[in-house]
Amino acid sequence: MSSRELKNDRILRAFLRQEVDRTPLWMMRQAGRYLAEYREVRAQAGSFMDLCRSPELAARVTLQPLERYDLDAAILFSDILTVPDAMGLGLSFATGEGPVFAKRIQSAADIDALPQPGANNELKYVMDAVRACRQELAGQVPLIGFTGSPWTLATYMIEGGSSKTFAASKTLVYDQPEAAHRLLAKLADTVADYLTGQVEAGAQALMIFDTWGGTLDPERYRDFSLAYMARIIEALPREAEGRRVPVTVFTKGGGQWLEAIAECGCDAVGLDWTTSLADARRRIGDRVALQGNLDPCMLHAKPDVIRREVARCLEEFGHGPGHIFNLGHGIQPETPPEHVAAFVEAVHELSPGYHGRAAATSTA
């Protein structure tokens, strides 16, 4: 079999709401600090960015969760902040702490001076990591490429790192909306090129992480976050290797805007645990697939509680295709790996009942 031939396309089928035998599953941040083998490679690499810059090490950690668990996708090991770093802001991570930028955006002049790094220039190391992941995966499961949304990236660039209030980023939006739009447009165009590069390098599905979109009011969410995600999606190649490349949009805290998100051109909408899958399916399930949405804190609970909650999520979505099982946000570093095993086992054992011919005919 050629290394490009997929042995498991369950997730690509589910993204297009096609029939599957069981609900496909992956976990946001599935490669990371909850795995001892990740911490080992991270220490060997020296810094987080050195790990991202080494295609061989990035591919190795991308595959680590798949060696432990029978998951239906791999997600490229990298970070959303590679883009602002390549724009010259100088990203670093202290071990166990959040990201810090050496420079931050403080004025309209800073925005106009920002360069637009190319997928095959400053960000070529990410494309090399995509190619290395595909090589190592050898068709085992599809590879998901990703980016941060323009708004989410902008918050880190303006705040200089993580934030609780987003005061500086929101002040730019409120006081200088034109400058904010120029920054978001620049980011959208850079990110569209970045994702296109990932598809050309071998990414088989894409995800846009809009982690901080839910901090905006409804009108500004639409104009300063969603509009730029739509602009990116419009610019993307939607087919590669003879198949559609599905795009998932995940706005954390975006439950009240699902109808608008489903219209942005995406194939799937990611949900956090504050929206019920039943409600989301009723509202937008005839247009897009749904990804989610177990609270990542649930993985700290006892395995029998985890199993019961998996059953509840499956029952909430109900019968038929169009569900990709995931957490409602990234897995936490303190998560016991054996609880993840219980989670995966529960999805494998309980979900086939919601698929197949009998299930399809029972769908209203």
Give the shortest CB-297-to-ligand 1CP separation in angstroms: 14
Give the shortest CB-22-to-ligand 1CP separation in angstroms: 22
Among residues 79, 85, 193, 267, which one is catalytic?
Answer: 79
The CA distance from 99 to 95, in Å, is 10
Cβ-based neighbours of 354, under 8 Å, separated by 6 or more: 23, 314, 317, 318, 319, 320, 323
Of the pair 93, 125, the CB lying nearest ligand 1CP is at 93
Among residues 33, 222, 244, 308, which one is catalytic?
Answer: 33
Judge whether 84 and 153 are in contact, CB under 8 Å.
Answer: yes
Give the shortest CB-209-to-ligand 1CP separation in angstroms: 4
In the residue annotation, 42 being an active-site residue is answered as: yes
In the residue annotation, 156 being an active-site residue is answered as: yes
Inter-residue long-range contacts of 92-100, CB under 8 Å, 24+ positions, other chains counted: 92/47, 92/49, 93/47, 93/48, 93/49, 98/161, 98/162, 99/156, 99/161, 99/162, 100/160, 100/161
Give the shortest CB-122-to-ligand 1CP separation in angstroms: 18
Cis peptide before 326, with omega less than 30 degrees from 0?
no
Of the pair 127, 350, the CB lying nearest ligand 1CP is at 127
52 φ/ψ sector (left φ>0, alpha ψ -120 to 50, else beta)? alpha
In the residue annotation, 69 being an active-site residue is answered as: no
Of the pair 133, 350, the CB lying nearest ligand 1CP is at 133
Of the pair 85, 320, the CB lying nearest ligand 1CP is at 85
The secondary structure of residue 329, as a DSSP letter, is S
Judge whether 254 and 221 are in contact, CB under 8 Å.
Answer: yes
Of the pair 249, 350, the CB lying nearest ligand 1CP is at 249
Which alpha helices (H) appear in the chain, and where do they start and end? 10-15, 36-45, 48-53, 55-68, 82-84, 108-113, 124-137, 150-159, 167-175, 177-201, 218-220, 227-235, 258-262, 277-284, 303-317, 337-350, 356-362
Among residues 10, 13, 22, 29, which one is catalytic?
Answer: 29
Give the shortest CB-248-to-ligand 1CP separation in angstroms: 12
Q: How many CB atoms lie within 10 A of CB 29?
A: 18
Q: Which residue is nearest to ligand 1CP (CB)?
A: 162
The CA distance from 74 to 64, in Å, is 9
Of the pair 88, 330, the CB lying nearest ligand 1CP is at 330
Binding site residues, ligand 1CP, CB under 6 A: 28-33, 42, 48, 75, 77, 79-81, 93, 95, 98-99, 146, 148, 162, 209, 211, 330
Give the shortest CB-4-to-ligand 1CP separation in angstroms: 22
In the residue annotation, 29 being an active-site residue is answered as: yes
Annotated active-site positions, please? 29, 33, 42, 79, 156
